[in-house]
Amino acid sequence: LDDAAIAILQQGAELLTLDEGDIVAAKGDPADTVYLVRAGAIACHAGEAQAPGDRVLAFYKGNATFGEHAITSDGSTRPSTGLCA
């Protein structure tokens, strides 16, 4: 990216500090954000997090991104829940 594009990204960036068990993005929420995991881990849950029958689809750890697929796909909502692990 050129300097102008990086500046636009920096203006829209927000640093979140979350605790274990906090929900980052919930299933059904608008898909309008891409997340970068700087430290720790995010568990992506297929259903309602920690409910009976729920399963973990993926773990995202430091320097991983998630959310970009939901933004670029046809759906406009989150297909799963991201929970701090």
Tens digit of each residue's pLDDT (9 = 90 or more) over 5-56: 999 989 989 999 999 989 998 888 998 889 999 999 999 888 666 666 778 8
pLDDT of residue 6: 92
pLDDT category of residue 79 using cuts at 50, 70 and 90 = confident
pLDDT of residue 48: 65
Which of 63, 28, 23 has its CA nearest to residue 43? 23
**pLDDT over threshold 90, residue 61:** yes
pLDDT of residue 63: 92
